[in-house]
Structure 1
Amino acid sequence: MIQVKVKDAALREAAMQDMDAFLKVFVDAIKEAIGGELNAENMQQLSVSQITLLAYDILHEEVMDGGFVQLIYNGYGGFIFDNPFAKVLRDWGLRDLAKMLFSVRKLYKEYGPKIQRDCSDEEFMAMFEQFSEFDDYDDEFVENEEAWTSGVAHYVDEHIEEFVVVEE
């Protein structure tokens, strides 16, 4: 296991800002510890909690930017939907998010190969209309993003030792 370290002062400063800044300290520290990018090799050196936090960060960034179609097109569908990510989030107390992800997984299984194909920018933009079944889930994520991010931040705060070693 890689030991991920953060400074206590950085955590305190981020916690005074907001939950996004607080989570960013953890995400950035984990990314730095693995060389900047999650892959099959370094994933084995992380805990389930660390991987889940990185997965939430990816989910959050992709869906807030371009929805589930973008997340799948950018190659994250397998990472989010073919792993126990939703189950871990449920264990963290984010039952509604987990339930939604299980629903989106069904669409991913049905449409994933069509969305992940190489295409032009124009064809990519057309996918948002072509796969409008994702729209309600995109909206649900955006509507609940603050509460869900708060839930993740609360879990991380209550279980810091699962994510990092805090140094003075």
Structure 2
Amino acid sequence: MNEVEIKVKDEDLRRGAEAGMDEFLNVFIHKYLEVTGGVINAETMPLLNGYQHTLLGYHFFREEVLEGGFIQLIQNGYGPYIFDNPFAKAMRMFGAKDFSKLIYDAKKIYDAHREDLEKECSDDEFMAMYEQYEAFDDLEEAYMDMEERVTAQIAEYVDEHLEQFAGIE
């Protein structure tokens, strides 16, 4: 299975752009989720190119961290997708340099405690992780402060490099 040609409608892009940066990015993200079935694994990884994976990675990162922080992101299985891939490097390339640094800082914590952070756990153990890994708190707060700017930088990069993210029909 190889990368599939992903196409989005020009009309959907226009409508998304008019609605704002989130909706503009969602035009692509919804298509990627459709193509992968919302699952990222060995079978679905080859369906998207690196740019598409980076945008989808940001979607998962943003969704998980805004809702439940790095602990939730990792416990829901996205640690390897974010930290074992060149996601932080790609974010720098997309122009989100401060965010890239934040990802590298979080990766240090993740790498040092990966086994514990990824283990199956009860709800109580999960909640206890928030106290155990308070090192993530400052990074989460920093992300909250920069989230809108980072999303705007990513939307601008996507807009300037549309052909890397999807074909337009």
State the TM-score bracket (shorter-chain normalisation): over 0.9
Asked whether 1:163 is paired with 2:147, we answer no
Contact kept, 8 Å, 1:4 with 1:164, in 2: the verdict is yes
Deviation readout 1:108-137 (Å, 9 max, x if unpaired)? 011221121111111111111111010000
How do residues 2-151 of structure 1 correspond to structure 2 at under 5 angstroms?
A: 2-151=4-153
Contact kept, 8 Å, 2:8 with 2:166, in 1: the verdict is yes
Show structure 1 runs of 5+ residues with no match: none
Find the aligned partners of 1:90 and 1:21 in 2 and give their Cα distance: 22
Offset at residue 36 of structure 1 (A): 3.3
Contact kept, 8 Å, 1:31 with 1:38, in 2: the verdict is no
Contact kept, 8 Å, 2:35 with 2:47, in 1: the verdict is no
Find the aligned partners of 2:67 and 2:38 in 1 and give their Cα distance: 21
Find the aligned partners of 2:80 and 2:73 in 1 and give their Cα distance: 10
**Residue identity matched to 1:85:** F
Relative contact order, higher structure (CA 8 A, sep 6+): 1
Contact kept, 8 Å, 1:14 with 1:21, in 2: the verdict is yes
Show structure 2 runs of 5+ residues with no match: none
Contact kept, 8 Å, 1:15 with 1:21, in 2: the verdict is yes
Identity value in percent: 47
Offset at residue 70 of structure 1 (A): 1.0
Find the aligned partners of 1:123 and 1:45 in 2 and give their Cα distance: 35
**Residue identity matched to 2:147:** E
Deviation readout 1:36-60 (Å, 9 max, x if unpaired)? 3222222113211001011111110
Find the aligned partners of 2:168 and 2:16 in 1 and give their Cα distance: 14
Contact kept, 8 Å, 2:21 with 2:152, in 1: the verdict is yes
The two structures have a TM-score, normalised by structure 1, of 0.95
Which stretches of structure 1, 4 residues or more, deviate above 4 A after TM superposition?
none
State the number of aligned residues: 167
Report the aligned-residue RMSD: 1.1
Find the aligned partners of 1:123 and 1:42 in 2 and give their Cα distance: 31
